[in-house]
Amino acid sequence: MMLPKPAAFLSALLLAAAGADAQSQGKLQVNLDSPGSIKAAAKVVAANLMSYYHGDEPGATPGILPGPPPAGPYYWWQAGAMWGTLVDYWHYTRDDTYNAEALRAMVFQAEPPSNSYQPRNWTASLGNDDQGFWGMSAMLAAETNFPNPPEDQPQWLALAQAVFNTQAPRFGREHCNGGLRWQVPNLNNGYNYKNTIANGVFMNIAARLARYTNNKTYGEWAEATWDWLEGVGYITKDFDVFDGAHVESNCTDINPVQFSANAAILIHAAAVMYNYTEGPVREKWRFRVAGLLNRTIEHFFPEGIMIERPCELPDRMQCNTDQHSFKGYMHRALATAAVVAPFTRDDVLRVLRSSTEGCVSSCLPDGTCGFRWNTGQYDGDVANGPAGQQMSALAALSTLLIDQEQVLRGPLTNQTGGTSRGDPSAGHTSMTVEPLSDITGKDRAGAGIVTAAVASSFLGCILWMGMGWNEGL
Q: What single string gives the DSSP state of each residue in 138-193?
A: HHHHHHTTPPPPPTTS--HHHHHHHHHHHHGGG--STTTTS---SBSSTTSTTTTE
User: Are 86 and 96 within 8 A, CB to CB?
Assistant: no
Which H or E element spans position 194?
A: strand 193-195
pTM of the model: 0.87
Cis peptide before 149 (omega within 30 of 0): no
CATH number for 231 = 1.50.10.20
Give the DSSP letter of residue 126: B
Q: Look at residue 455 and tell me if it is in a domain.
A: no
Domain count, the chain: 1
Domain membership of residue 260 as a residue range: 25-408
User: Are 452 and 225 within 8 A, CB to CB?
Assistant: yes
Q: Look at residue 316 and tell me if it is in a domain.
A: yes
Q: Look at residue 425 and tell me if it is in a domain.
A: no
Burial of residue 271 (CB within 10 Å: 0-12, 13-18, 19+) is buried
User: What is the C-alpha separation between 88 and 162, in angstroms, rounded?
Assistant: 22
Q: Look at residue 362 and tell me if it is in a domain.
A: yes
Q: Look at residue 421 and tell me if it is in a domain.
A: no
Residue 51: φ, ψ to 5°: -70, -15
Q: Look at residue 19 and tell me if it is in a domain.
A: no
Q: Look at residue 137 and tell me if it is in a domain.
A: yes
Q: Look at residue 461 and tell me if it is in a domain.
A: no
User: Are 182 and 129 within 8 A, CB to CB?
Assistant: yes
CA-to-CA separations, 92 to 96, 97, 126, 246, 404, in angstroms, rounded: 11, 13, 31, 40, 7
pLDDT tens by residue, the chain, 473 residues: 333 333 333 333 333 333 334 344 589 999 999 999 999 999 999 999 999 999 999 999 999 999 998 999 999 999 999 999 999 999 999 999 999 999 999 999 999 999 999 998 887 789 999 999 999 999 999 999 999 999 999 999 999 999 999 999 999 888 999 999 999 999 999 999 999 999 999 999 999 999 999 999 999 999 999 999 999 999 999 999 999 999 999 999 999 999 999 999 999 999 999 999 999 999 999 999 999 999 999 999 999 999 999 999 999 999 999 999 999 999 999 999 999 999 999 999 999 999 999 999 999 999 999 999 999 999 999 878 899 999 999 999 999 999 999 999 999 999 999 999 999 999 974 333 343 443 333 332 333 333 333 333 333 322 222 223 234 33
